[in-house]
A = this chain, B = another copy of it.
Amino acid sequence: MTSPVSRLAIIGIGLIGSSIARAAKDHSACETICLYDGSADVRARAGEIGLGEIADTVTACVKDADLIILCTPVGVMGEIAEAMAPALKSGAIVSDVGSVKSAVQEAVAPHIPEGVHFIAGHPIAGTEKSGPDAGFASLFEGRWCIITPPDEHEDEASVQTLTKFWEALGSTVEVMSVSRHDRVLAITSHLPHLIAFNIVGTAHDLESVTEGEVVKFSAGGFRDFTRIAASDPVMWRDVFLNNKEAVLEMLGRFNEDLSALQRAIRWGDGEQLRSFFDRSRGIRKSIIDAGQDTADDDFGRGKPSSK
């Protein structure tokens, strides 16, 4: 089988970037790999691990590449796109793995030269760990990858190539619009992370319960939030700054519902509490039925149910 891509360039060598390099090599999804990271230490480490060729500049990295994947925090993708633009080869595909898509489209697309195709993407995969050593080749196996071609997009061949690349890594590809992506992810990922960061911060600041007590008895439920809240702070800062509208809308709904629960607790309205809690079991059952959870599953490691 020929590789879907000849030369792959990865910009940003963290959990996702290093996992793509490992997976692409394992699955022969490309013939050669070149990587670049803004940090000299990370570049050196990536070389030691043997993730691929390491370039000293972003332009050297993308030169001759057929597929370039931006794996940096969303906030710096615009300036990287601008820097690499002159070195991009005609016919190349530029993609990314950012958790927000409208903002990436706006930041990156204007810098993409004619003859180069920008097709944004988002693998729904990750762990709470960061850095080049945190990656592993099986991260994308059995996972969804969302591809969001621009609305006016006409280069179906590029979408096909990117789809084949992610499928080679073991993922199932879903195509949707950038705005749809940002609304869906606001509720399935961004709001849960915000809530998790928040409750961990609340616990940290309490005077009446010590951090030692919180840690000791965290198995009562709190612990599950700390896992999510250990995710990369810079990445998540950029997510919230760049999907503001959808996150604030979901947060508004969340706050309304929480006020109703708060009122029910204050006034001892057991009927309302119970009927609210009863509904939660249905959605849980749907997630299990869809194969999106297993008992020993790590955070963010679900499996799509079908292709």
Known: A284-B128, A298-B296. A184 touches B217 (CB 8 A): yes
Known: A237-B270, A237-B274. A221 touches B200 (CB 8 A): no
- Please name the residue on chain B nearest to A125 by beta carbon: B219
* A213 cross-chain contacts in B, Cβ below 8 A: 184, 188
Query: Do A195 and B195 have beta carbons less than 8 Å apart?
Result: yes
Contact of A219 among B144, B233, B277, B286 (CB under 8 A): B144
Query: Do A218 and B302 have beta carbons less than 8 Å apart?
Result: yes
Q: Which of A159-215 contact B (CB under 8 A)?
A: 174, 183-185, 187-206, 208-209, 211, 213-215
A87 to B279 CA separation, bound complex (whole angstroms): 39
Query: Do A201 and B279 have beta carbons less than 8 Å apart?
Result: yes
A144 to B212 CA separation, bound complex (whole angstroms): 14
Query: Do B224 and A281 have beta carbons less than 8 Å apart?
Result: no
Query: Do B206 and A287 have beta carbons less than 8 Å apart?
Result: no
Q: Which of A121-140 contact B (CB under 8 A)?
A: 124-125, 128
Please tell me if A307 contacts chain B, counting CB pairs below 8 Å. Answer: no
- Please name the residue on chain B nearest to A228 by beta carbon: B221
Query: Do B298 and A188 have beta carbons less than 8 Å apart?
Result: no
A270 to B292 CA separation, bound complex (whole angstroms): 32
Q: Which of A251-307 contact B (CB under 8 A)?
A: 251, 253-255, 257-258, 261-262, 264-266, 268, 270, 273-274, 276-287, 290, 292-293, 295-296, 298-302, 304
- Please name the residue on chain B nearest to A301 by beta carbon: B219
Query: Do B224 and A280 have beta carbons less than 8 Å apart?
Result: no
* A238 cross-chain contacts in B, Cβ below 8 A: 270
